[in-house]
Amino acid sequence: MPLIRLTLEYDGTDFVGWQFQTNGRSVQEEVEKAIKQILQVDIRITGGGRTDAGVHAHGQVASFFVEREVEINLLAKSLNAVMPHSIIVLEAMEAPLDFNARYDAKSRRYTYSIRQEPTAIQRNYCWQVFQKLDLTLMQKCAQQIMGTQSFRSFCKVETDIHNHRCSVLASQWIQKDKLLIYEISANRFLHGMVRTLVGTMVNVGRGHTKYEEFHKILESNDRSFAGMSAPAKGLFLEEIMY
């Protein structure tokens, strides 16, 4: 009974997120439907990252067992032939039997894109912010969250988790062509964490929140002090490290 590992790319615009939900199409549902069509089996896949509605991925990972022989070399091509054009399998491979796409992840890397000029083509893949932003202050905010600490101020209030500590391995703003890109890697992420961090740092950058307040927000463990959650469309799951 082989364990299959898929690496996926998807445009999350028209999906309710990665995970199966009753209120709309999910990426997980579409991938499982394609697997059933190709392999003629009902399976449940495990995703490496639970992206929200409208969030995209360049390097999502999923794993599943299948009780039959699988031609691995043809699997990616076969799945891509029947899946929606907004989802593709970049790679399919056989993994060790004890591999789990979610629980074996050592860290994940996300990026968030902001564009400060109007765009038609990129409108579903970035947050258009037309006010002047102080990138120096935003970069200082990004550096403050490095290391291991509580990020309770930057997660959704209704989350049912009890551990809010995360170890941030990288956090920086990068100017690339006409995009301002925030890049963050961590051992784990809380629900809504990246988008709330971005929204709060943008508030600092445009002068709505004083730079000195950012550290106080981080230490407060109170979501009500942080800024708005940045729109989902600018967020990308880039890579999962194992």
Catalytic residue among 11, 14, 42, 52: 52
Within a 10 A sphere around the Cβ of 91, how many other Cβ atoms? 13
- The single-letter code of the amino acid at 226 is A
Contacts of residue 11, defined as CB under 8 A and 6 or more positions apart, other chains included, come to 56, 86, 87, 124
Q: Say which DSSP state 229 is in.
A: P
According to DSSP, the residues that pair with 87 across neighbouring strands are: 10
- Is the Cβ–Cβ distance between 15 and 103 less than 8 Å? no
SS3 category, 39: helix
Instruction: Mark 27-53 as b/e (b = at least 16 C-beta within 10 Å).
Output: bbbbbbebbeebbeeeeebbbbbebbb
Contacts of residue 136, defined as CB under 8 A and 6 or more positions apart, other chains included, come to none
What tokens does 228 get? 């708005």
Number of alpha carbons in the 13 Å side-chain half-sphere of residue 237: 30
52 catalytic? Reply is: yes
What tokens does 22 get? 């009753």
* Residues labelled catalytic: 52
